[in-house]
Structure 1
Amino acid sequence: MTVRGWFVVLAVVVAGLVMPATAAAAPGPSHRTNCPDLYVLAIPGTWANASDPGILRDVTDGLGPRTLVHFVGYDATAFPWEGAIYGRSKAQAVANTTGLALTMLHRCPATKLAITGYSQGADAAGDVAAEIGTGRAAIRPDQVAAVVLISDPRRSHKDNLVGPRLAGQGSGGPRLTGMGWLSAVTHTICAPRDLYCNTPRDYYVTRIVGYLAETSDPTPSQMGQYHAEANAILGELLAKGGIGAVGREVSDQRARQQIIVFNRFLQSGVHTNYAAFQVAPGVSAVDWAYNRLAALATSHR
């Protein structure tokens, strides 16, 4: 098989990592309260939807009467034959999340926002947070109380990590701008063996496929990010031994090795088992995320 052929196969494998989570349109917010103290926007992963948002149900369930939770609807797909490729699906999640937040803040300017997401949803939630935190959105940073990302494919080693230290970064490459003014209130959770959010830096084939997924429907405002990640991959490859290293690192042999690793990863269920992954003794990732939001819900009463 050619190198390009292996890229296609690996791309299918990597795209499969964004399970679970799709998105039917999310139900409109309940208006049992005039204005909530805390408005939680939860973005499910690929192939989930508002009626079945996966682990985000447990993350957001029972936060109290003064908190309104809204599961963000979007295509939540990854492949062209599903209706929207990954880049376009994620861009839709970003736009829908921003739109919901602005609508709420226009009606209830004193309401505080919390944004959380899992997998592709974490990718989108992180992008929304980065836009707000660096002053590129109509939402002010002081209107956001917390951001919680679970298995973010653009996780950076500079992000506030909950749980054990990690050597890799997200498969799609870290966000160029970081979280800006939202850095202190943004937390990311990633299981060490989850290759979606913890890709070893020398897995160049995987990083290239992650880059192709992120750029599958380019967002104009992200062009600097795309260029930075492409330059980082190429620069690191050249530093390993010049132009010859590029050929070796993207060879059929290296692609085969990484496909084997990803198959083992998929079979392990690590990516879909954050309810069991402990970030501290007796505290699962889902527990920590819920506790973070619950503390906010209590403090804003």
Structure 2
Amino acid sequence: MTVRGWFVVLVVVVAGFVVPATAAAVPAPSHHAKCPDLYVLAIPGTWADAAAPGILREITSDLGPRTLVHYVGYSATAFPWETAIYGRSKAQAVANTTGLARAMVRRCPVTRLAITGYSQGADAAGDVAAEIGTGRGAIRPEQVAGVVLISDPRRSHRDNLVGPRLTGQGSGGPRLSGMGHLSPRTYSICAPRDLYCNTPRDYYVTRIVGYLAETSDPTPSQMGQYQAEAGDILDELLAQGGIGAVGREVSNQRARQQITVFNRFLQSGVHTNYAAFVVAPGVSAVQWAHNHLAALASAHS
């Protein structure tokens, strides 16, 4: 077997040892009197919840009387000593979002959906959108009016980017299948110094760690994507001089450089300050996302 083959087998086997998630019960939409024109599913980030959804509250506020907003509940944790590891937590968010969307379209076939998320929530929202857009979901692409992802750990250079041009990609690796039919209606927002959604391509250790976090609760339908992403990482490693590139990266000097970069990133608060991140003259990321959802609501009212 080739070196590439052994690498792919190794990462997939490691991911496969994780126990699959059991999704939390999906609550029913709170509004039953009549069908909304637009149903917004908003997925908060890590350590947030439906009661305190963070920036998503401002993004989804005042969208009009014909719009129903639902904050998706899930573990929203990341570490083994918490409720659920990252992969399992995200799997709950994906399952709960899909369940809510299916329940709505069954009850209200003409209602259009919008999906938005921040950080881990954007990771889940993007996966849901990718499943729908590529025909692997239970929802038809034409039922989705739009998608807005903020600090998506799986952001790809192919995504529709709102804001300044970026050179990196998400720390968890891009969704290789893309967004399919939802590509024209999916927008990604990422601050240039946010390493969750803009990891330099030569930060191989960070990318491998991000990849293992993404596959810590593997989704069977995405096994092909996991293998392809593992192959991409290996190809780029080989192009940069082989596995020795990882060794050089964790060498004392390189490690110190990355520690310095990460310390600056964590201290900067850039990941949590999208209300101040300007994506257009006089328009913050939060304002842009709100305006976009408001336009979708207006178009479907």
| Superposed pair shares fold, TM > 0.5 | yes
Separation in 1, partners of 2:246, 2:211: 16
Matches within 5 A, 1:36-75: 36-75=36-75
TM-score, structure 1 normalization: 0.89
* 1:6 equivalent in structure 2: none
Separation in 1, partners of 2:59, 2:254: 38
Asked whether 1:221 is paired with 2:221, we answer yes
* 2:140 equivalent in structure 1: 140
Gaps of 5+ in 2: 1-23
Separation in 2, partners of 1:35, 1:203: 47
1:33 and 1:66 in contact (8 A); partners too = no
* 1:211 equivalent in structure 2: 211
Q: Cα 1:103–1:139, aligned 2, differ >3 Å: closer, same or farther?
A: same
RMSD of aligned alpha carbons: 1.6
1:205 and 1:254 in contact (8 A); partners too = no
1:176 and 1:224 in contact (8 A); partners too = no
* 2:79 equivalent in structure 1: 79
TM-score, structure 2 normalization: 0.89
Separation in 2, partners of 1:82, 1:112: 35
* 2:94 equivalent in structure 1: 94
Matches within 5 A, 1:113-128: 113-128=113-128
- CA drift of 1:27 comes to 6.8
- CA drift of 1:255 comes to 3.5
Q: Cα 1:243–1:93, aligned 2, differ >3 Å: closer, same or farther?
A: closer
SS in 2 for 1:279: strand
Q: Pick which of 37-46 and 223-232 moved more.
A: 223-232
1:205 and 1:255 in contact (8 A); partners too = no
* Cα deviation 1:167-222 (Å, max 9, x = unaligned): 00000000010000000000000001101000010111111111111111211122
1:26 and 1:71 in contact (8 A); partners too = no
- CA drift of 1:25 comes to 8.3
2:26 and 2:100 in contact (8 A); partners too = no
Separation in 1, partners of 2:243, 2:100: 47
* 2:18 equivalent in structure 1: none
Q: Pick which of 165-174 and 24-33 moved more.
A: 24-33
SS in 1 for 2:109: coil
Q: Give the number of aligned pairs.
A: 278
Q: Cα 1:286–1:156, aligned 2, differ >3 Å: closer, same or farther?
A: same
Q: Cα 1:91–1:261, aligned 2, differ >3 Å: closer, same or farther?
A: same
